[in-house]
Each structure stands twice: as C-alpha cells, then as structure tokens.
Structure 1
Amino acid sequence: MSTDAAVRRAFERHETYTDADEGFVVETTVFDSRVVAEASEETVYTLTIRTPTLAGAVEEDVGDNLLAGWFETFERRVEDAPKAVRAEIDLTVDMHSEDGEAIVTLQFPFDRPDRAPAVVKAMAEYVEGTYVEGVVPGFTYRPPVSELLADATHSEETEHDRGGGPLPL
C-alpha cells in the first residue's frame, strides 16, 4: 500500500474527519480546520485553521496596538502546538490576517500515517484552545467565539476536562 493510500485510509477511518474536496475537515473544532497530506520522500501535513481576528470577533472597535499585540501573542502561542502531542514535530507556522480572519497554517512531516489523524486533531484543538485563552475581557463577542465562551463557562467539568498530558504516541 502506498503512503498516500495509508494516510487517506487513516483519515477516512477516524471519526473526527469528513472528506472534503481537498483534504479532510476536522469536525471537533468550531473553527474551519482542514488538513491536506502530500507524500513524496516523506509525508507532509498542512493543517489550516481559520479563526476570527480580534476585530472580526467583537462588536466594538479595537485599537491598533491591541490588535497588533493580540495577533503577535496568538502567533507565539500557536508555535507551541507540538506540545499537544508526545512526538517530535518539526513544525513550520505561517499566520496572516485576511478579511477579518486569522489564518493559521501548521505544516509538519510525520512518518506514522496511523497516528497522523490524532496528531492533527490534537493540534487543531490546541489552536482553538489557545484562541479562547487569548480572549480579551470587556468586549462583546460574536459567534462562534461567543458560543465557545458560553460552552466553556457552562460546561460541567468531566474527567476529560481536568486536563492531562499530551497525546500519547
């Protein structure tokens, strides 16, 4: 079986993903998160997550300094995404804003097609959690951020929510 066939099969079998025109959509996050895998000498995964920028998420006007600081902080935190898994990940991060969205692209080689769906899921959820941690108090947030905040405030703590270590590999 070729590497790209093994990768496709792993994502198709994982309950977290739905097949998209190009790649797979992560269904466990509120933000649009999609992964594409390209195989040559090694399989490289590209996970793209589209989140609102601070200005795109709130009703009020936001000052330029706060906008710049929020984006820079979010970017620095996203660079720690490999800490969400117990694996050596050589991560390349690209972030930019476009039309009210912060577009996060995480790219990394990974040689275990059977574990790749869990690694991608963990990183997508890490980025979403990092986004929520960076919410600035005092603003009125629009959906989907307002929904994320409501869920975080009203959910009952479960065994899973108490934290824990990185995803084992």
Structure 2
Amino acid sequence: MTDVPSDVADTFDRRDAFVAGQEGYAVDSTRFDGYVTASEGERWETEYEVTVRAPTLQAATADEVGEAVADGWFETLQRRLEDAPKATRVSVELDEYTVERDGEEVVVTFRFSLGSESQAADVAKTFVEYVEGTYVEGIVPGYDYVGVVADLMDSASTGGSEGTRGGTPL
C-alpha cells in the first residue's frame, strides 16, 4: 500500500467508496479507474493527488474515429473537466490539473491541498465521479460503443448492462 499519513488512512479506511491498494486508495463508486494518494504537505495541509483513467474515444468504440473528431472530443473533455472543483461542496483550489493521452487511455490528474481529511475524501470522490459523468455527457452520437463506456451508456439509459451500445446515453 502506498504510504499516506495515518490520519488520512484512518479517514479513507472508514469510507465505503475507498479501497486501500498498491496505488493508493481506489475509488469504487465509478466504473473508471480512480485512485487517490496523499502525502504530508509543507504546511498544515495534506497534499492529495486524484488520478482517473478512462478510455480514449477511439478505444471506446468499435468504429474508426476520425482524427478531427477524436481531437475535438479530447479538447472538449479537457475544458469541461476544468470545472471539477465547482462540483465540490468545499472551496478547493487545484495545485495542478492535467488531462493527457496515454496510448488508449485518457489520464486525468487533480492535485490539491486540504487540512481536513474528511473534506479531502469527499473532494476526491467527487472528482472521480465528475470525470465519469462528464465523460458520459460528452459521448459522441453515431458510434458503436464497447466495453465500460457501453456499460455506462446502457446504465444511463436503461439501468441495465449489455456490453455494446450505439447512440447517445440518454
């Protein structure tokens, strides 16, 4: 398990949405892989890093996605995810925010500092869920989606899970 301050570990261990693992705490309230790590800050605050891995548009479809569509989708996702701090119930300023492509994955990273472990757990969970929700809202109609994205779309529209799906989520 990644080393985190003991007070942070105690808080995250008490929360249903977090599961301790090798890469930090996994957030299991979403279908995408979301992880949180924490380290002692220079001040009284603890530094947190939330990382979410999701498929690129091309990796989520059975169809060929043109470069212009793939790039436009990625740029739109980047812009929309900048608003993640507004989705929290606490005022949080990001120390760093990145959205990068890593092969067939999009890797989203939020870094922030907070003094309250409880609030940090809420913020981290919100960030991971915000990435998933924003991703689903940005689904491009007209493609045959597969894997986890097809499952998300199916859940959004019917409450079930089929594994393949085309069209929009709602």
Q: Bigger CA drift: 24-33 or 91-100?
A: 91-100
Q: Which amino acid aligns with 1:64?
A: E
Q: Distance in 1 between matches of 2:49 and 2:41?
A: 14
User: Higher strand fraction: Structure 1 or Structure 2?
Assistant: 2
TM-score (norm 2): 0.87
1:13 aligns with 2:14: yes
Q: Answer whether contact 2:90 2:119 (CA < 8 A) is retained.
A: no
Q: Distance in 2 between matches of 1:67 and 1:122?
A: 26
Q: Answer whether contact 1:45 1:108 (CA < 8 A) is retained.
A: yes
Q: Distance in 2 between matches of 1:114 and 1:125?
A: 17
Over aligned residue pairs, what C-alpha RMSD do you find?
A: 1.4
Residues 49-93 of structure 1 deviation map (CA, whole Å, 9 limit, x = unaligned):
000000110011111111111000001111100111122211121
Q: Which residue of 2 aligns with 1:58?
A: 61
Q: Distance in 2 between matches of 1:39 and 1:134?
A: 36
Equivalent of 1:76, from 46, 62, 79? 79
Aligned residues: 154
Q: Distance in 2 between matches of 1:102 and 1:114?
A: 28
Q: Answer whether contact 1:6 1:114 (CA < 8 A) is retained.
A: no
Deviation at 1:31, TM superposition (A): 0.4
Q: Which residue of 2 aligns with 1:36?
A: 37
Secondary structure in structure 2 of the residue aligned to 1:60: coil
Q: Distance in 2 between matches of 1:50 and 1:86?
A: 24
Q: Which amino acid aligns with 2:86?
A: K
Residues 88-138 of structure 1 deviation map (CA, whole Å, 9 limit, x = unaligned):
211121111112100101111111112221111111101100000000000
Q: Answer whether contact 2:39 2:48 (CA < 8 A) is retained.
A: yes
1:126 aligns with 2:127: no
Q: Which runs of 5+ in 2 are unaligned?
A: 161-170
Q: Which runs of 5+ in 1 are unaligned?
A: 157-169
Q: Distance in 1 between matches of 2:130 and 2:19?
A: 19
Dislocated runs of 4+, deviation >4 Å: none
Q: Distance in 1 between matches of 2:142 and 2:41?
A: 48
Equivalent of 1:144, from 112, 136, 148? 148
Q: Bigger CA drift: 83-92 or 137-146?
A: 83-92
Query: Which structure carries more relative contact order (alpha carbon 8 Å, separation 6+)?
Result: 1
Q: Which amino acid aligns with 2:39?
A: E
Q: Answer whether contact 1:35 1:46 (CA < 8 A) is retained.
A: yes
Q: How does 1:77-96 map to 2 (within 5 A)?
A: 77-91=80-94, 92-96=96-100
Residues 30-50 of structure 1 deviation map (CA, whole Å, 9 limit, x = unaligned):
001000011122211101100
